[in-house]
A and B are shown apart, each in its own frame.
Chain A
C-alpha cells in the first residue's frame, strides 16, 4: 500500500507532459511560420520570430539578405509624367521619417481634411539615413499603403556627422531607389546649428524641386533645443504646403485649412533597433 502511494506520488502528472508538449508544439509552429514568405493573415500583418536567420548558411545568407533588402524598386523618373494623385484626383500622402513627424503630421492632416486627401504617417524615433538606407522600411510602407505622394523627413539626427557625403550618400541613394515612381519631396532637417553637409548631400541627390530646405526657417523650439514646438511645427508645415503647391517637381493643390482639427492621423511608430 505504502509502495503504491509512493509510486503514485512520484509519477509525473499528465499536465507536466502536456505543458512540455505545448511548448514543443508552439516552438514548431512559430519556427515553421518564421520560414514562410507570407507574413499576412487575412490582410493582417503577423510578425515572425527572428529565427529564419538560422535557415541559411553563412555564405548564402549575405546574398539572401541583399535580395531581401532590395525590393527591386525602380529608379525615380527624372522627367516625370506621373500624377501625384489617384484617378479621382485624390492625394494619398505617406509622411515618413524621424521624430519631427510628431507634430508635422497633425498639421498635414489638417490639409488632408481640408483638401479631401488622406495620409498615413510613420515615425521612426532617432532614425537617420543609415537606418532607412539599410532597410526596406520605406519600400514596405509604399507597398502597404500605395501612396501617391511621399514626404520624407530624415536628417535631423545626423546634422553633425563628419564626412557625411562619403558616409551617407549610398544610403540616400537607396532611399530614393525605394521610392520608385512615387512622387516625393524630401523635407530637410530644421537645423538648430550648422550642419556638416547633410542638406547639401540630400539636395545633390534628389534635386532642388524635390527638396524643401527647412533650415531657412526660424523656429520656436522645445527645451531640448531641437524639436520645433507644436505651433512652430504647424507653421513649418504651412511653408511646406506652399512649396508643394508651387515649387515642387510634382505640384499639388494644398488649400490652407480654415481651422485646426487637431486630429492625429493613422500612424505607425517604430523604435530604434539596438546595434
Chain B
C-alpha cells in the first residue's frame, strides 16, 4: 500500500485536484472529521479550534497559498471592526469605509483587475496583455460575509464579536466557505454561544440532504453537462432541436449543480448541529421574476437587498428611483458573478425584467394572481425568460450566445426530435427526472424526507452505496468542479 502517495493526495494542495465535496479524498476526510467532532463537540473551545483548523485546511486544499490571503483579510476586518465599534459619529463611518476598501480592494484586484485593464486599454486604443492573476476560490462569498458582518456592527444590529476564534470560525466554516450559502453573522454567531445539541432528526435530515446534493450534483448536473458542454463549445454543429435541448439542459444543470452543492453544505452543517438556512426553494416554479429571485440563491439576493438595494434608497424615494435602484442592484449582482460584460448584461436584463414585473403588478393591481391560468402563463414566461438569459451566462461570449439562439430558430426541425431521444436516452431520462424532482411541492418533499428517516438503516446503507456506484458509472473522467466555485 502506497500510504505516502495517499497521504500526499489527501493532505497536500494539488492545483489540478482541489478538494471537492464529491471526491474520494473528502469521503476519507469526512470520516476523520466526524469521528473527531464526536469527541470535541461538547466543549466549546476545542470544538471551535478543531473546526476552524479543519476549515482553514479545507480552504488550503482548494486554494493553496491563498489561505494566507483569507486569514489576512479576516484579521484586518476583525481589527477594524473592533476599532469601529468603539467609535462614534464620523470615526465609525471611516472605519467602515476602511473595511469596505480592504474587502472590495482585495476582491477587485483578484477578480476585476484584468477586466478593468482590458476595458481601459480598449478605450485608449492600446493592446492589453492579461496580468497573471489567479482568482482565489470562493473569494466573492467570504468577502460578502465579511462585509455583512462589518455593516451589521456599524448599524448596531449586531454586537461586535470579541472572541476572535468565534468570528474566524463564522467566516471560514468549511461547508459554506467556498460556494455559500452566504450566512449572516446575526443568525450564525448566536449558535456558537449556545451548547451544540446533536439531534437525531437533524442528523437524519442532514444526511438526506447530503445524498440529495450528491445526486443532484454528481449524477444529474455532471451527466447533463457532458452534452451541454459539447453544444455550447460548438453550436454550429448541432441542429435546432439539439441546441434547444442543451439550453434546457443547462438550466437544469446549473440548478442541480449549485443547489446540490448547497444541499450538501446545509446537510453537513445540520449533522454537526449548525443551521445554515436555505438557499433555493424550487426556483423554476416561480410565477414571476420577483418570485424567482425570492427562490434562487436566496442568501445572495437577500444580501443584495439588505446591503445594496435598501441603502440605495430601496422603494422609499419614488417610482423612478425604485426602478433605478433595482437596475443598479441587478447590474452589480451580475458583475458579482464574473468580470465579464456578459454577466453584467445577464444581471441588467434581470433588472429590466424585475422592473417590467413591478410595472405589470401596478397595472393589474396584482389581481391576476388569483386566476390559475394567469399563474400558468406567468410561470411559462418567467421560466423561459430565465432560461433565455442562462444562454448568455453559459456561453463563452456574446457571439456564441447569439449563434446558439440563431441555431434554435434557423435550424429547427422536429424530425430530429425522435433521433435525439433515441441517441441521448440517458440525457433525456435524467433531464425529466430532474424536472420531476423539482416539480415536487415542498409539502410532498417533506413527506419524502420523513419516509427516508423512517427507512431501516440497512436500506440507507444500500441506498448510499448504490448512489456512489451510480456516480462512478456515469462520471465522465475527473470529478467536475462546481460551477459556482469560479464566482
Contact = CB atoms under 8 A, between A and B. Distances in A.
A273 B200 contact: no
Contacts of B35: 20
Contact of A51 (B24, B271, B460, B475): B24
17 contacts: A12-B198, A17-B38, A19-B34, A23-B27, A26-B464, A27-B27, A27-B28, A46-B472, A49-B24, A49-B472, A51-B24, A58-B5, A224-B236, A224-B237, A226-B237, A227-B237, A262-B419
A236 to B, nearest CB: 15
Given A15-B203, A47-B472, A264-B423, A223 B42 contact: no
A48 B28 CA distance: 16
B6 interface: yes
A222 interface: yes
B40 to A, nearest CB: 11
A263 B422 contact: yes
Nearest to A9: B197
A37 B40 CA distance: 41
Given A47-B475, A274-B478, A19 B203 contact: yes
Given A12-B198, A26-B461, A125 B5 contact: no
Interface in B274-321: none
A272 interface: yes
B226 interface: yes
B455 to A, nearest CB: 12
Contacts of A61: 2
B226 A269 contact: yes
A15 B204 contact: yes
B443 interface: no
A55 interface: yes
A25 B458 CA distance: 12
A273 B478 contact: yes
Given A10-B42, A19-B271, A20-B35, 10 more contacts: A9-B195, A15-B204, A23-B34, A26-B468, A27-B27, A27-B28, A47-B475, A55-B1, A58-B2, A227-B237
Contact of B200 (A13, A20, A30, A125): A13
Interface residues of B, number: 51
B30 interface: yes
Nearest to B38: A12
A13 B226 contact: no
A57 B2 CA distance: 5
Interface of A: 9-10, 12-20, 22-27, 29-30, 46-51, 53-58, 61, 106, 125, 222-224, 226-227, 262-264, 267, 269-274
A20 B34 contact: yes
Contacts of A50: 24
Contact of B203 (A16, A51, A222, A271): A16
A22 B461 contact: yes
Interface of B: 1-3, 5-6, 9, 16, 24, 27-28, 30-31, 34-35, 38, 41-42, 195, 197-200, 203-204, 207, 226, 230, 234-238, 271, 403, 418-419, 422-423, 457, 460-461, 464-465, 468-469, 472-473, 475-478
A120 B131 CA distance: 48
Contacts of A223: 235-237, 403
A11 B147 CA distance: 37
B370 to A, nearest CB: 45
B34 A13 contact: no
A273 B477 contact: yes
Contacts of A54: 1-3, 5-6, 9
Nearest to A271: B476
B394 to A, nearest CB: 18
A263 B34 CA distance: 51
Contacts of B226: 269, 271
A22 B234 contact: no
Contacts of A22: 457, 460-461, 464
A50 B17 CA distance: 13
A267 B34 contact: no
Nearest to A102: B237
Given A27-B31, A125-B230, A56 B419 contact: no
A46 B471 CA distance: 11
Contacts of B403: 223
Contacts of B230: 125
Contacts of A47: 469, 472-473, 475
What 7 A-B pairs come out closest when comparing CB atoms? A223-B236, A271-B476, A273-B477, A13-B200, A222-B237, A47-B472, A264-B423
A222 B478 contact: no
Contacts of A30: 465, 468
A23 B30 contact: yes
Nearest to A41: B469
Contacts of A272: 477
Contacts of A48: 472
Which of A50, A56, A222 gathers the greatest number of chain B CB atoms within 10 Å? Answer: A222
A106 B415 CA distance: 15
A274 B38 contact: no
Contacts of B34: 16, 19-20, 23
A54 B24 CA distance: 12
A123 to B, nearest CB: 10
Contacts of B472: 46-49
A226 B238 CA distance: 12
A63 to B, nearest CB: 14
Contacts of B235: 223
Given A18-B457, A19-B207, A27-B31, A55 B2 contact: yes
A22 B456 CA distance: 13
A224 B237 CA distance: 6
B359 to A, nearest CB: 39
Contacts of B41: 12
A96 B9 CA distance: 34
A273 to B, nearest CB: 4
Given A10-B195, A10-B197, A271-B476, A20 B3 contact: no
A29 B466 CA distance: 12
Contact of A271 (B30, B419, B477): B477
